[in-house]
Copies of this chain bind each other. A is one copy, B any other.
Amino acid sequence: MRIGELAAVSGLSVHTIRYYERIGLMPVASRNGSGHRSYAPQTLAWIEFLGRLKTTGMPISEMLRYAELRERGVDSEAERQALLMMHRKAVRARVAELMECLDVLDAKIAGYGEHPTIKAQQ
């Protein structure tokens, strides 16, 4: 799989894939005869997982930490698991925070269109 195809199936841009490789988020890709990057199909799964980390607000610096542990192989699994557990905790907190904000939004939305006396209390 060449970089253009990987970009198409992953939704990342070619630029972004090369950027991810440059900063260490993706392993240095092997090359075909003409120097073009060549990707194994599993690469897509890695990109998708990175996407989950990104969606959940993990900064690149921390993804990088995870990627480095992954490169180190099987003996880093406990550390990777710990890192993900910390992140899960942060995501759960974020969800709770958003739900609290949703309550505030609900109240504000309900407030519009009410009796002026009640409205004034907003």
* Chain A residues proximal to chain B, CB less than 8 Å: 49, 52, 55-56, 77-78, 80-81, 84-85, 87-88, 91-92, 94-95, 97-99, 101-102, 104-106, 108-109, 112-113
Report whether A52 and B101 are in contact in the complex, using a CB–CB cutoff of 8 Å.
yes
The number of times this chain is found in the oligomer is 2
- Complex CA gap A75/B24 in Å reads 53
Tell which of B77, B84, B88, B98 touches A56, judged by Cβ atoms closer than 8 Å: B98
Tell which of B56, B78, B88 touches A106, judged by Cβ atoms closer than 8 Å: B88
Residue of B nearest to A83 (CB): B109
Report whether B78 and A112 are in contact in the complex, using a CB–CB cutoff of 8 Å.
yes
Q: Could you list 9 further interchain pairs (A-B, Cβ under 8 angstroms) beyond the known A52-B101, A55-B98, A77-B113?
A: A52-B104, A52-B105, A55-B97, A81-B112, A84-B108, A84-B109, A87-B105, A88-B106, A94-B98
Residues of chain B within 8 A (CB-CB) of A95 are: 95, 98-99, 102
Report whether B102 and A91 are in contact in the complex, using a CB–CB cutoff of 8 Å.
yes
Report whether A85 and B56 are in contact in the complex, using a CB–CB cutoff of 8 Å.
no
